[in-house]
Structure 1
Amino acid sequence: MVDEAIDEITVGGVAEQLAVDPSVASRMVAECINDGLLVRRASQRDGRRTVLELSAEGVRLRDRFRSQHRQAFIEITRDWPESKRLTFARLLIEYADASVALTQRPR
C-alpha cells in the first residue's frame, strides 16, 4: 500500500485504504516504524505534511514476500496447462483490483 500509492501516503491514507479508524492506523504505522519497515518523511509537495515510505528493510521484506508468492504460484500451478495458468492469473488480478475498489467506496 505504502509503496503502491500513486500519490504520497499519510497515516490518514493508510486508515482510508484499510477502512480502519485513524487511531488504529496510527498504531499500526508506529509499529511498522519501530520494526524498521517504514520511515516518516517530509512531503515533497508540502513540507508541513509527513508522509510514509518503505525503509530499505521494508523494501527487502516486500520483495521477499512477492518472490515467495511468485514461487508458490509456480509450484501450485506447475502441472496446469499454460492457458489455465494465464486465465487464473488474470482472474486473480481482477479479483484483487475489485477488492481494492471495494475499500475505496464511500461507507
Structure 2
Amino acid sequence: MAPHRQLDLDRFLPYRLSVLSNRISSSVAEIYSEHFQLTITEWRVMAILGRYPDLSANEVAQRSAMDKVAVSRAVARLIDAGRLTRGMHDDDRRRSVLRLSAEGMRIYDQIAPLALDFERQLLGDMTEEERALLFRVLDRLDELELKVEAAKTIHG
C-alpha cells in the first residue's frame, strides 16, 4: 500500500491566506471592537455600505464573500443599534436596500482613517513595487477564484 501524501500547510496557499487573514482581522478588530463595540462582520458590512450605499444584504454578502446568515445577523444588530437604515430601492419597490445612518456614517468616518493607518503600518516596509505586485497577485487569484466558481455553477 502506497503511503498517503502529506499536506504541508506551510506551503499550502489557502491555509496560509486564511491564517494571515485571521491574524490581520483580529489585530484590526481590536480597534473597532473596543472603541465602537463592533464585530468584524458588522464593521465589514459598514465598510462596504460606506463605499457602496444602497445594497441589499445579499449584495453585501456577495461583495464580501461572507456568509449570508452572518451578514443578515450583523445587519439586524446594526439596524437595532441605529447604525444602518433600511429603505426601498428606487427602481424596484420590492427590494430593500441598506445605507449607513448618520450615526453609522459618524462611526465610519472615525474608523476608516484608523483602518487606513493600520494598512500603512502593515505595508510600511514594502516598496511601491512590492505593494503593486502584491495587489496584482491578489487580483489574479481573485480572477482565478471567480472562474472556478463559475465552472462549479455550470457543471453542477
With normalisation by structure 2, the TM-score equals: 0.47
2:11 is matched with which residue? Answer: none
State how far apart, in whole Å, the 1-side matches of 2:80 and 2:141 are.
29
Conserved 8 A contact 2:50-2:108:
no
Task: Indicate which of 11, 22, 27 corresponds to 2:73.
Answer: 27
Secondary structure of the 1:46 match is coil
- Contact persistence 2:49–2:55 (CA under 8 A): yes
Comparing both structures, which one devotes a greater share of its residues to helix? 2
Q: Percent identity?
A: 25
Q: 1:4 to 1:49 in 2, by over 3 A?
A: same
Q: How does 1:1-107 map to 2 (within 5 A)?
A: 1-5=48-52, 8-17=54-63, 18-20=65-67, 22-72=68-118, 73=120, 77=124, 84=127, 86-87=128-129, 89-91=131-133, 93-94=135-136, 102=145, 106=149
TM-superposed CA distance for 1:63, in Å, is 1.8
- Deviation, 1:71, is 3.5
Whole-Å separation in 2 of the counterparts to 1:36 and 1:26: 15
Report the alpha carbon displacement of residue 98 of structure 1 after superposing the two structures with TM.
Answer: 6.0
Unaligned runs of 5+ in 1: none
Count of equivalent residues: 100
- The unaligned stretches of length 5 or more in structure 2 are 1-47
- Tell me the SS of whatever aligns to 1:45: coil
Runs (4+) of structure 1 exceeding 2 A deviation are: 14-19, 22-25, 69-74, 86-107
Instruction: Give the counterpart letter for 1:2 in structure 2.
Output: L
- Coordinate RMSD, CA, aligned: 3.4
Q: Which has the larger radius of gyration?
A: 2
CA distance in 1, matches of 2:71, 2:115: 25
TM-score (norm. length: structure 1): 0.64
Equivalent position SS for 1:2: helix
